[in-house]
Structure 1
Amino acid sequence: MREFHKEGPRAEGAPVVWAGRDDGPALVVVDPSGAAKHNELPPTWDQLASHFQIAWCRIPASERSLEDVEDVLETLTERRASANLVASGEACPAAIAIARQFADIVSSVLLVDPVDDDNTGTLADTGIEVRVVARSHHGPSDRVEAPMPLGHPEVVDGVVSALASMS
């Protein structure tokens, strides 16, 4: 699996932040930028935390990188919880690969600014839906370069819309 940058202020803090419900369906966020540094979800995710278990996997904060995501999915397997993965930018291909490993519990992979749109159909044989839920606009309204931060309201809106259309 690919290793991600583990330097800078976003690398500080817990590698996995759990929030939301103690049981039921889960959202597993694979975040290469390292948001949720202070053990709290971005406030935009509060609406999702009331309906889901959320495991925010902060890739830059982990010495083990993607092994933490696999550990989260193993925990969810033990809890018999279904999971939807949310990934951004350079973490998208890794999230798709991990979803294939855990096809028995993963329902979908929701992508934000994927580095390669060709990967969106790669899980068709598993029944796991792969969908792009948000993209940077590459215009004056964007304040940061792609990928769009996972805490951005457009990302949350895209996740909510995707989940609603799949249920």
Structure 2
Amino acid sequence: MRDFDEPVRAAGPGVVVDGPAGAPTVLVIDPAGEAVHDGIPATWRPLTDTVRVVWLRVPAAPTWQSTVDKVLAAHRDDESPVRLDVVCSGPIAADVVDLVRRHEHLVNSVLLVDPETEIAAPFGKVIARTHPSADDRVPAPMPLGHPDVVNAVIERVRQ
């Protein structure tokens, strides 16, 4: 399991947003704290032409659970709510599913990457897993900026 306690991960913004307002939204809750340079990771940028990406960097947002609640509540208060999918990984997957349960009617799906525990929720879908092997260079959980994750998210959002 990767170590997410690097001090550099806590630097930078807690939330990064890109994409058109009013478009389908993907809320990425990232325990690794990618997007440290005030922008969405490069692999996600092509998606922001048609989808709004809200990237929550957990190491830089110590009260990330309340931030998720605020984002979901704001989505509920939109005059015409749009599709909302949530992406998360590894050690926080179960916590995110618990948070989403309180707003289940607003969320289309929770897309999981390498969850540490099995998730029993009808809206939870595992979209990527690392397969530990001698030639696997990516330790679990797979980074949310990984092209396999982005491609799986694109596939789900277009359904």
Unaligned runs of 5+ in 2: none
Q: TM-score, normalised by structure 1?
A: 0.85
- One-letter amino acid of the counterpart of residue 97, structure 2: I
Q: TM-score, normalised by structure 2?
A: 0.89
Partner Cα distance (1:63, 1:135) in 2: 26
Structure-2 residue corresponding to 1:17: 16
Partner Cα distance (1:113, 1:95) in 2: 13
State percent identity of aligned pairs: 36
- Give the length in aligned residue pairs: 154
After the TM superposition, which residues 37-56 of structure 1 pair with which residues of structure 2 at under 5 Å, given as runs?
Answer: 37-56=36-55
Is contact 1:76-1:82 (8 Å) kept? no
Distance apart, 1:140 and its partner CA: 4.1
After the TM superposition, which residues 16-95 of structure 1 pair with which residues of structure 2 at under 5 Å, given as runs?
Answer: 16-79=15-78, 80-95=81-96
Partner Cα distance (2:20, 2:26) in 1: 11
Unaligned runs of 5+ in 1: none
Partner Cα distance (1:63, 1:95) in 2: 14
Is contact 1:59-1:66 (8 Å) kept? no
Alpha carbons of 1:65 and 1:111: their partners in 2 closer, same or farther (altered >3 Å)? same
Render the CA deviation track for 1:59-90: whole Å, top value 9, x for unaligned: 11013121111111122222223310000101
Alpha carbons of 1:6 and 1:67: their partners in 2 closer, same or farther (altered >3 Å)? farther
Structure-1 residue corresponding to 2:142: 148
Distance apart, 1:144 and its partner CA: 3.1
Q: CA RMSD in A?
A: 1.6
